[in-house]
Structure 1
Amino acid sequence: MSIAFVFPGQGAQTIGMGKALADAYPAAQAVFDEVD
């Protein structure tokens, strides 16, 4: 079995990305708070 590493290109992130997810799901907000 082959293994591939895939990395996104630069600039794929935007300000506020994930806000709707965090607003809708408290568990997602908890993860964001922990890694921030």
Structure 2
Amino acid sequence: MSVLLPDDLQHWTDARAAEGGFDSVGDFVRDLLRRDR
């Protein structure tokens, strides 16, 4: 799956992934989806 984000959301997800110790933004998004499941 590919998701295009506006620049502000891309910067936010990049920062949150790094702060959370995720290896990639994809790992961060997977974690968000699992938690919301």
For the criterion TM > 0.5, the same-fold answer is no
TM-score when normalising by structure 1:
0.30
TM-score when normalising by structure 2:
0.30
Larger radius of gyration: 1
